[in-house]
Amino acid sequence: MNKKMDSPCVLIHDNGKWLLFEKPLTVIETCETHLVIDCLEELQRNLDHGCYIAGFLTYESSSAFEPEIPVYSSKLPKLWFAIFNKPKDFILSKKLNCQFPSLDWTPQISEETYHRNISIIKDYIASGDTYQVNYTFDLKSEYRGDPFDFFHHLVIHHPSPYAAFVDTGSYSFCSFSPELFFSLNDNRITCKPMKGTAPRGVVSAEDDLMSSQLFNCNKNRAENIMIVDMIRNDLGRISKTGSVKVTNLFEIEKYETVFQMTSTVESQTDWAIPQVFKALFPCASITGAPKIRTSQIIHELEKRPRGIYCGSIGYATPEKRAVFNVAIRTATVDYSNSSITYNVGSGIVWDSDSKNEFHECLSKAKIVQGVFSDFQLIESLLHTKEEGYFLFDSHIKRCVNSCRYFGFKIDENSLVQFLIKLKETLPDYPVKVRCVVHKNGHIESSLTPVISIEEPVLVSIARSPVNSTNIYLYHKTTRRQVFEEALRSSSGGQDVIFWNENGYLTETTSANLVLLKNGSYLTPEVSCGLLAGTFRNHLLENKMIEEARLKIEDLLDCDKIFRINSVRRWQRCELVNAGSAITVIQSSL
């Protein structure tokens, strides 16, 4: 394997920049529980002599700090740190020179076993053994590529405040952690436990709803405050009397696939790194409450070592600056057997729904199941001399909402001013103005004359379904591979009608769909997986069409078929090769 990073090395994201630790003076590691604290004290001596340290502790090192926490044996060292003279700033290129690997992630637990173990956890809660258990499982895949390529792809598309990459020579660890275990700045120590998760919506309005529901959810608040209390108690062991404070409670943070609830706890301490780990490790957010008994339940049910997952990766300086993450969202590449492991979990309490918890875990795993490749947002507006921009406000609102959803750096005023200035240069004849908005806020435009198209427009039915959970179906972007492939493989016609995994109609490649049936003009519901077009919204608001769940068979049982958009408005369509296509589709559902 040709690797882009020399091993051993450590790359850590801290305070908006990357620090690269390479060419170590020496490495301190151990697989023995009784040597973990000795190693930490040796690391502290190196810090006292002006060196820097960077590395990790696995979850299995927990028993070094609390002998009553049972752990499984593991091939990984319990502690691995390298000693360095100094790190250097590292610029992580935004350009990717290779394809993201195709990985076949397989959960190492059946859904049946998962539900059974959740039931056992609830029995323990009922008997008073525990209040909350952070229950986890693995996903595995074969992997023969460069681990840094895997890390590079994901960290570019899923930026994480406490991301880290470690290559020991035998293993690589790719951490996309959003959770701070602790940071140390002189005598101030900060912990930021994360507990409480909700999936992202597919549009900004749904995002706002999901975020609000998470913030107001009594279950998630109870879980979060339970962990905060444990962190306060742990910090109290090493803090100056009266200095432990909760500075932020129930903050909601937005990531690519989920919302997370965090809280911040701070205090003053004079203790060094070994004592900090003795007091805090393992982090309460990845065990549950109470820590020791809950760890014993975890050992009983998980039946395998967690490894780096739920451990901690970080660095410390001789100036008493340290940052360590909670190693969640972390993959392990094992060079000896060309495998990659990724772990997921969630906090189980008495009223947890096992199906919801299982799906929450799978939501957390989406980060490694595909990459959000670079894309731009699109708005296509009709401009005529008589009317100006058609549905101008609706286009602005939709684009701004998508910018907010994806984190694009543009505001409403910038987009409005761009289009107003562009209007001065537009011709007298009707044109389609296509605006392309980049993530950094840059806007490009192009013009296309609007020429009439002969009706009826011939349309065919897509050969395969779209996935209604694909967020890009709900936004107008340059990610149009699904549409382009459908046109290439279509059985004739100028456009393609799409349907979802449940057999419900959605849209065409460039327009919304309307069927005239029994005197009513019906358009598919947005939740089926489609773009809420501005002209569609206009017609709905004026009660000229209505939403309905339309099946594929409705295409044969309707009076007329139309495609609609704000540039060409209404266009009558005619199906080609419909009967045979529907027969094939129905047999696949």
Could you identify the residue written with the tokens 């979850």? 59
**31: nearest Cα among 57, 8, 52, 9:** 57
Centre a 10 Å sphere on the Cβ of residue 172 and count the other Cβ atoms it contains: 25
Stated as kind and residue range, the H or E segment containing 418 is: helix 412-423
Query: Can the peptide bond before residue 524 be classed as cis, meaning omega within 30 degrees of 0?
Result: no
- Two structure tokens written together for 185: 């700045």
- Of the candidates 426, 434, 498, 406, which has an alpha carbon nearest to the alpha carbon of residue 460? 498
Distance (Å, rounded) from C-alpha 548 to C-alpha 550? 6
3-state secondary structure (DSSP) of residue 446: strand
Residue 20, both tokens: 């690269």
Contact 466, 498 (CB under 8 A): yes
Any idea what the Cα angle at residue 489 is, between residues 486 and 491, rounded to 5°?
Answer: 105
Q: Are 311 and 61 in contact (CB under 8 A)?
A: yes
* Choice among 22, 60, 179, 357 that is catalytic: 179
| Token couple for 209 | 């709803």
Exposed/middle/buried for residue 7 (C-beta within 10 Å: 0-12, 13-18, 19+): middle
Is 195 noted as a catalytic residue in this protein? yes
Residue 546 in contact with residue 521, Cβ under 8 Å? yes
Work out the burial of residue 584: count CB atoms within 10 Å of its CB; fewer than 13 is exposed, 13-18 middle, 19 or more buried: exposed
- Cα–Cα distance, 406 to 54 (Å, whole number): 33
Active site annotation includes 179: yes
What is the Cα–Cα distance from 367 to 361, expressed in whole angstroms?
A: 11
Task: Write the burial class of residue 503 (CB in 10 Å: 0-12 exposed, 13-18 middle, 19+ buried).
Answer: middle
Q: Which of 192, 195, 364, 476 is catalytic?
A: 195
**Catalytic residue list:** 179, 195
